[in-house]
Amino acid sequence: MTAFAALMAFQRETEALAQIAGRLGWDQETVMPEGAAEQRGEEMAAIEGVLHARRTDPRVGDWLDAAEAPDPAGARALELIDRAYRRNAAVPARLASEFARVTSLAQGIWAEARARDDVAHFLPTLEKVVALSREKGQALAAAGFGGGDAYDALLDDYEPEATAESIAAMFDRMRPRLVALREAVLGAANPPAPLTGQFAEARQIGLARDLATAFGYDWSRGRLDLAVHPFSSGSGNDARITTRVVETDPFNCFYSTIHEVGHATYELGIDAAHFLTPLGQGVSMGVHESQSRIYENQLGRSRAFTGWLHGQMHAVFGGLSIGSAEEFYRTVNRVSAGFIRTEADEVHYNLHIMMRFDLERALFGGGLEVADLEDAWNTRFARDFGVAVDRPAHGVLQDVHWSVGLFGYFPTYTLGNVYAGCLHAALRADLSDLDTALGSGDARPATGWLREKVQRHGGLYRPAEVIERACGAAPSEEPLLDYLEAKFRAIYGL
């Protein structure tokens, strides 16, 4: 067996074990008994210890030194294994296991605190998570990742080659146009009416399944469950989705489902030859979010698709408070300065991300401590959105990310929106009759285009390269901003 073959066989087993760890996480968030939380933390720590030992096994370094790639895909796989090997070697085994144990427990504590609107219940645990995340970031920075900056070293795990400086510069370019559009829209004379009524959970879930099918979700390799915070999990031939239900707000369920279908379809669309290899998953969270956001927004909130959804909701729920399909389209895209990021309209969404990004950077180098995080959040939210946070579940407790140590993850949501803007422009140029399919509740032509241009490649190309190959130009925020201005000025008659 050549060094390359030996390394890839070893890597395949490591990837399989990582999938098992992911399944434990899915189980914890969906069906695990509440009383099992402490034991699950030990289980997660144990499997992370096994994974860390494999990922830092000296044989991996020896095989990397001796391996010769048989083709470009093999060369890219070696590049990714080498990068992961150096990152994992920089983090002590003790830290990796403790991080897994604490964040596993933290998820349940965060969920309890969120349900009780009790920040104090969560802060001691968040202190531990932040301390471990800082230690991890510092260890990676000392090994040369992130250019020696702890926050950039963490960000690099989700969006390789991105830096906080480059993201901050992009946000600075975006913010003036977003704020100007928001002010114009909120000052419009005839805003769309909200949807009102009661929408039974079982019927919402039934229609959510229809929505997933409309986008080409493969039910033979997936499933839909409920979770406190919607997410998708898995890759290869097992990519699961979750959603949540609010009986007065069916859009929460429907668009969370479509969003997670975007993530799962990306994983299911990767070339089967890459399964259980370093190429067998999305190349970055920014590219991943490009899939979920284009499904949710440019496709799922389009006039054509909402026209079909309007008819489906009439069939499932009976009469709606919104009469015509055109008014329904306006209602689906209604702009309001709400509290919740996952429910935010397209105009406000990136402003939510910018706020979280700034708070994260302050936690990792700007003098902000966990004890002051709620006050910092509330002050910034009032400044950015003009509304005072009314309860912690609508504020600092709303997102799961910090409880599980995902520092550096939030900016990838806006990167995903930017990438989605580029992809949407290219998609529309190639599929001139797309609205005909969307109007009949069939988003599969769009999924087919995205599968060919983006999804099938998995980790074969670098993030920016994936978008440039698909669109014929380097990623830019301009297509997204142009799309937002054209869409919402038309909806609001500006």
Tokens 């079982």 found at: 202
Q: Are 304 and 328 in contact (CB under 8 A)?
A: no
How sure is the predictor about 74, in pLDDT bands with cuts at 50, 70 and 90? very high
Q: What is the pLDDT of residue 229?
A: 83
Torsion angle in degrees (nearest 10) through CA of 256, 260, 265, 270: 160
Neighbours of 163 (CB within 10 A): 16
Strand partners of residue 232: 241
Catalytic-role residue among 29, 48, 260, 289: 260
In whole angstroms, what is the distance from residue 414 CA to residue 419 CA? 9
Report residue 407 as tokens. 């520092």
Tens digit of each residue's pLDDT (9 = 90 or more) over 306-334: 999 999 999 999 989 998 999 999 999 99
Tokens of 247: 């009986």
Q: Measure the CA–CA gap between 196 and 199, rounded to whole angstroms.
A: 9
Average pLDDT, the chain: 96
Any residues with CB less than 8 A from the CB of 408 and at least 6 apart, and which?
A: 151, 154, 155, 156, 157, 158, 159, 360
Question: Nearest 5 degrees, angle CA 15-CA 20-CA 23?
Answer: 125
Model confidence over 366-382: pLDDT tens digits?
Answer: 899 999 999 999 999 99
Distance set, CA 322 to CA 195, 207, 211, 494 (Å): 6, 18, 20, 22
Over range 54-76, report the average pLDDT.
97
- pLDDT bracket for residue 228 (50, 70, 90): confident
Question: How far from chain centre, in Å, is Cα 487?
Answer: 23
Which is nearest to 343 in space by CA: 410, 297, 390, 281?
297
Tokens of 287: 């590219």
The SS3 of residue 234 is strand
Output the six-digit token pair for 183.
Answer: 């002010």
> What architecture is domain 166-364+407-491?
Orthogonal Bundle (1.10)
CB atoms within 10 A of CB 196: 10
Please write the tens of the pLDDT for every residue from 445-470: 999 999 999 999 999 999 999 999 99
- Report pLDDT digits (tens) over 268-298: 999 999 999 999 999 999 999 999 999 999 9
What pLDDT shows up at residue 395? 97
Burial zone of 133 (CB within 10 Å; 0-12 exposed, 13-18 middle, 19+ buried): buried
Instruction: Kindly tell me if the per-residue pLDDT of 343 is higher than 90.
Output: no
Domain ranges in the chain are 3-159, 166-364+407-491
Q: What is the pLDDT of residues 195-215, one digit of tens each?
A: 999 999 999 999 999 999 999
290, two tokens: 């490009």
Radius of gyration of the chain (CA): 22
CA dist 232 and 60 (Å) reads: 30
The percentage of residues in the chain with a pLDDT greater than 90, rounded to a whole number, is 96
Residue 129 is predicted with a pLDDT of 97
pLDDT at 187 over 90: yes
SS3 category, 242: strand
260 has catalytic annotation: yes
pLDDT above 90 for 78: yes
Contact assessment for residue 10 and residue 63, using Cβ atoms and an 8 Å cutoff: yes
Average confidence (pLDDT) over 422-439 = 97
The length of the chain, given as a count of residues? 494
| Cα separation, 355 vs 357, whole angstroms | 5
